[in-house]
Amino acid sequence: MAKIPTIAAAVPAVVKATPETLLKKRKAAEKNAAARIAADKARRDANKKKRVVIFKRAEQYVREYRDAEREEVRQKRIARQAGNFHVSAQPKLAFVIRIKGINKISPKPRKVLQLLRLLQINNGVFLRLTKATTEMLKLVEPYIAYGTPNLKTVRELIYKRGYGKINGQRIPLSDNAIVEKSLGTNGIICVEDLIHEIYTVGPNFKKANNFLWPFKLSSPTGSFHKRKFRHFIEGGDFGNREEFINELVRKMN
């Protein structure tokens, strides 16, 4: 007896066509994913090459600092053997800290403090020492403590309390990309480049220093001297303290 076909068997199955918009969306998503993967790979390769450059520069800076220190020792030794004294070159860099608030400051020193970007107590900035800036420091000497920072001080300040000025905002220097974005056109692509430019007072010192936000330091460990508004050489705190500024920065950093 022949089998009678059912209605379901007689009607062929209808295959639903995928909408064209969905196909386009899938194609675009695949294209974007491939582009994203390619961009990530290119960025990783670029970062790898950049890290090699940064390490080479850091090694070069270490050799440069070491050679300068050894040359200074050699010059002193030669002078001592000849029965003379070796006089080191005049410092080109100063670190300036404001130690007085806003009360009872006459207009001229107030304006100089604004030009130095020392707007708050315990603010600190790097400064290139020239005839003009030295005269400015003399005008505001009763309100500031300043001196010649060493390499360790410069490095610790920038790594620990370094902030950059980007579009008027205070951004922490947590990545070399932040430095490169603002100063890359001047050959400064990492924090070590920034430290070298500041410490050696290089040709792009002004741009590098303006990029750095004024350092917000803490009150010194153990506080200032009892009479801090006496000169440093009189047992107070204000004025030029030369290399002893490093000790004060350690207490405030």
Q: What sign does the CA torsion over 173, 215, 149, 224 have?
A: negative
Taking 50 as the pLDDT cut, the residues of the chain under it are none
In contact, 123 and 214? CB cutoff 8 Å: yes
CA atoms of 199 and 189, how far apart (whole Å): 16
In contact, 145 and 137? CB cutoff 8 Å: no
- Give start and end residues of each alpha helix (H) in 82-106: none
235 three-class SS: coil
User: Distances from the Cα of 178 to the Cαs of 15, 17, 182, 245, in angstroms?
Assistant: 55, 51, 7, 29
Task: Output the pLDDT for position 15.
Answer: 59
CA-based R_g, the chain, Å: 31
Task: Output the pLDDT for position 132.
Answer: 94
Q: What is the DSSP string of 199-230?
A: HTT-TTHHHHHHHBPPEEPPPPTT-S-TTTTS
Identify which of 164, 100, 97, 88 has the alpha carbon closest to the alpha carbon of residue 126: 97
